[in-house]
Amino acid sequence: MNSVAFDKRGFYLHASWLYEYPFAVRTWSHGEYAGMFHLLRTFGMNQVMIWPMTELAPPPLSANDREHLSEFRKVVQMAEDLGLECWLVFCANLSTTDAVRACSMINRVFYPNMRKFRLDDSQQFDSYMSHLSDILRCLDNADGYVFIDGDPGGYPGAMPEDFMRMLHGVRGILDQSGREQRPKIVPWVWSGWGADWEKEGVWKPDLRRLVMPFLKALQAGPPGEPWELLPGRSIREGHANGRTNFVLTEEVGLLHRATLMTYEIIEFEPTPPAFVIQFDDIRRVIREEIDKANVVRGIMGNAQQPVSALHNLFYFARCAESPEWLDRSDESALHALADMLGGEAEVLIPAWTASRNQLDRIPFDLAQRVQNGRLKSETARMIPGGADMYLGILSEFVRARVEILRQTCDTPLNSSDAAQRIAAASVAIIRWWSRHRYVFTGAESPGFKWSYTHQVLMQPLYAWIKQHGHLICADAHHQIYSRIADSGLIDQQTAMINTETLLRDPVSGFI
C-alpha cells in the first residue's frame, strides 16, 4: 500500500435540505460553522467545501438576499483564517422562482421551486450570468468556485461548450474583484452534463458518452489558471455513477488536476439522521483510491448531517491523512475519538455502535449513561449545538433503537399484544423523527412518513410485522393509531395514514 497520505483532505458541507437544528447545516450560526472548521482542523483536514445555496436567491437579488449572501463571506473568511482552503459550490444553471421570496433564505425549500436556465439560449445565458455576477460579487473571497454538472442542474442534450462558456464567464466576473491571488475554478464531474434522467432514468444515461466530451472540452479550453477538477464517485460499483468519473478522468490524463470526491462513504445520501458506522466503506474506498495519492491534488468526503456522522468524519480524516489508520479496528478508532472528545469510551463506543448491535449487546441503561455523561475537551465544545446537545441527541437515538428492539424481540401473545408492541415501537420511531424532522428534499409532505426514518430503526419493525402480521386483527389497527396519536407527537389523521401504510406493506414501505 502506498505510504503517502493525500496532501489535501477535504469535507463537503451540504446545506441544501432543511430540517431541525443542529442536524441541518443550514441551521448553524456563524459560530457553529467556526466550530466545525476547528473540528476539521483537529481531525487533520485542510480543506472545506460548502454549498451556501445561493440558488435560493432568485433574480434579481433583493436587498435582504444580498445582505444574507454578503454575511456568508464571514463564514468563508473564518475557514480560511483557520487554515482551511475554502471552496463554494454552485449549480451551473439553476436558481429558484419568485415564489420563494415569501420567506427568508434560511427557510426556503429548493427543489419544488427550482428554475432552470438553458445555457444554449443566448438570452437565458445572459440572464443567468448577470444574476451569477451579482451573487459572486457578494461572495468573492473564496479560494475556489465549484460548478456541478448536474444532480441538480443541467438539461437533456446540454453541450460541453456551453458549460465551458459559463466557466469562462465566471473567470471574467471573479477577475473584476481585483484580488491579488486568482481563485480556482473547479468543474465538478458528477452525473453527466446533458443527462436526460426523465427519459433514460436516474443514473441510467451512459456517463462515458456524456463525461468524455466534457473532459476533452475542458482540456481544450480551460477557464484560465488556476483551475482544478472534482470528479465524483459513489460508494460502490454498480450504484449511481460507480467509479466511472475517476476512470474517465485518468483516461484523458487529468488526474493531476483532480481532487477525488468520494461521495457517500462518510454518510450515505439520501439518508435520514442516525448514528451508523461506515468504517468498512471508508476503508474499502480509500484503499481503492490510495494508489493515486501521489498524483491527485487531494480527496474529499461529504455528509448532510455532520453531527450524527461525526465519528465517520473523524475516521475518514484519519485514514486520508495516515493510511495506517485503515488497519485499525473499529473499537480502536472509536476509542481515539472518545479520548479526543474527553468522554468515557466505555459509554460512547456502545452508543456509537448501537445501530449494528442487538438487544443483548446494548447495556440496558446505556441511553441514560450517555445522557448523564460529559465531553470535557475543548474539541467537543466545537461540535455544532455543543457537547451536551450532542450527547443528548446520541442518547435519544440509543433510546429509540433499544425500545424498537425490545418491542420486536418476542412473539406476540395475541392481537392486542401485537398492536401494543407495534404502537410502542412506532412511537419510539416518531419521537426520534420529532427530534430531527428530516423530510428529504422538502418537496413532499412536511409531516411524518416512515421513509423519513433511517432503516436501522425501521427494519426491525418491518421484519417483525412481516413475521407476525397475521396475528393482527382489524380492530388492532384502531388500537395502534390511537396509541400513536395519544403520544402527542403527530395528529390522529397522520397516525391513521401511517398505521395503514405500515400494516399494508411492511416489506417495501421503506424507501
Render 454-503 in DSSP notation, one character per residue. -HHHHHHHHHHHHHHGGG--HHHHHHHHHHHHHTTSS-HHHHHHHHHHHH
Say yes or no: 244 and 271 in one domain: yes
Q: What is the pLDDT of residues 274-321, one digit of tens each?
A: 999 999 999 999 999 999 999 999 999 999 999 999 999 999 999 999
Q: Are 232 and 261 in contact (CB under 8 A)?
A: yes
Please name the residues in contact with 67: beta carbons below 8 A apart, sequence gap of 6 or more.
none
pLDDT value of residue 27: 95
Say yes or no: 111 and 244 in one domain: yes
Q: Of 446, 440, 450, which is closest to residue 497 (Cα–Cα)?
A: 450
Say yes or no: 138 and 226 in one domain: yes
The number of domains in the chain is 3
pLDDT value of residue 428: 98
Structure confidence at residue 505 as a pLDDT band (50, 70, 90):
low
Distance CA 501, CA 451 (A): 11
Percent of the chain at pLDDT > 90 equals 93
Say yes or no: 401 and 412 in one domain: no
Say yes or no: 397 and 271 in one domain: no
Q: Are 321 and 5 in contact (CB under 8 A)?
A: yes
Say yes or no: 435 and 352 in one domain: no
Structure confidence at residue 3 as a pLDDT band (50, 70, 90):
low
Dihedral angle sign, alpha carbons of residues 447, 448, 452, 453: positive
Q: What is the mean pLDDT of residues 485-490?
A: 97
Q: Are 197 and 132 in contact (CB under 8 A)?
A: no
Q: What are phi and psi of 458, to 5 degrees?
A: -80, -35
Say yes or no: 316 and 176 in one domain: yes
The three cell numbers of residue 297 are 491534488
Q: How far is CA 330 from CA 13, 21, 345, 353, 485, in A?
A: 25, 28, 12, 9, 40
Per-residue H/E/C for 101-167: HHCCHHHCCCHHHEEECCCCCHHHHHHHHHHHHHHHHHCCCCCEEEEECCCCCCCCCCCHHHHHHHH
**pTM of the predicted model as reported, rounded to 2 decimal places:** 0.96
**Which of the pair, 93 or 270, is modelled with greater confidence?**
93
pLDDT value of residue 510: 37
Q: Is 322 helix (H, G, I), strand (E, B) or coil?
A: coil
- Whether 511 is in a domain gets the answer no
Percent of the chain at pLDDT > 70 equals 98
pLDDT value of residue 506: 55
- Whether 337 is in a domain gets the answer no
**CB atoms inside a 10 Å sphere around CB 404:** 26
Which of these three, 355, 381, 405, is where a domain ends? 405
Residue 509 pLDDT > 60, yes or no? no
Q: What is the pLDDT of residues 342-369, one digit of tens each?
A: 999 999 999 999 999 999 999 999 999 9
Say yes or no: 54 and 135 in one domain: yes
Q: Is 265 helix (H, G, I), strand (E, B) or coil?
A: coil
Q: Domain range for residue 476?
A: 408-504
What does pLDDT average to over the chain?
A: 96
C-alpha distance across the termini of the chain, in Å: 38
- Whether 338 is in a domain gets the answer no
Which of these three, 281, 297, 328, is where a domain ends? 328
Say yes or no: 238 and 154 in one domain: yes
Say yes or no: 275 and 357 in one domain: no
Residue 4 pLDDT > 70, yes or no? no
pLDDT value of residue 511: 30
pLDDT value of residue 195: 98
- Whether 128 is in a domain gets the answer yes
Structure confidence at residue 504 as a pLDDT band (50, 70, 90):
confident
Please name the residues in contact with 91: beta carbons below 8 A apart, sequence gap of 6 or more.
55, 147, 148, 152, 153
Q: What is the mean pLDDT of residues 94-123?
A: 96
Length of the chain: 511
pLDDT value of residue 389: 98
**CB atoms inside a 10 Å sphere around CB 431:** 15
DSSP state of 93: T
The three cell numbers of residue 406 are 425490545
**Which of the pair, 186 or 16, is modelled with greater confidence?**
186
The CATH number for 48's domain is 3.20.20.80
Which of these three, 356, 371, 405, is where a domain ends? 405
Residue 507 pLDDT > 80, yes or no? no
Say yes or no: 363 and 461 in one domain: no
Say yes or no: 314 and 192 in one domain: yes
Please name the residues in contact with 307: beta carbons below 8 A apart, sequence gap of 6 or more.
22, 23, 383, 384, 385, 390, 393
